[in-house]
Structure 1
Amino acid sequence: MMFTSVDYDKFRALRVTHVATWLEELIQDEANDTLTPEQLFLTAVDDALESRRINKVDKLIRQAAFPIPGATVAEVDYREGRGITQVRMRRYAAHD
């Protein structure tokens, strides 16, 4: 089943176009043939929410204008005078 442009207009009106896109991809994948429609729908919702979360984090990182946006906690410089401790950074790193 393929969604039509009329269907996508409805999805846009409901603001669920990403869910529809994910659902369509799941339906087309033969590996999902054993899933119920409800399971497919809930998986599409989860995928769309995760995609939204990732996009939001990426946007916040861009807005923060970090000098090295791809840096990790393991690369933090703990030299004296920076006001950063390993204990505090491990605590921050343990949170989403």
Structure 2
Amino acid sequence: MKSSKKHIIISTVLCALTLVVFLAFYGKLPDSIPVHFDSEGNANSYFPRNMIVFGVPAVSVLLNLLAAFKVNKQADKATFMFYIMPAVAVVTSGIIIYLGLK
């Protein structure tokens, strides 16, 4: 039980650290960040910078906690399952920053 709590805490901290990454690029990001593209690659939906910078890490932390407690209830849990959401959060943050700077 202690080891699963440790994994939940570590994975939640990793998700929260995406906020640091967003804050590092805050000044370089445009006021509106593209989040959806049409079939030709043109941006057709934008979110405000603050919503992305603070919202994505918050949603990542919430989804991580939900997933971690669900995994924690499974009898055959594997350690890597606690770190799927942090990996998704880091990749998603990288993609959003790349698209915002593009």
Q: Same fold (TM over 0.5)?
A: no
Q: Which of 1 and 2 has higher RCO (CA within 8 Å, sep 6+)?
A: 2
| Structure showing greater Rg | 1
* Length-normalised TM-score, structure 1: 0.35
Bigger share in strand: 2
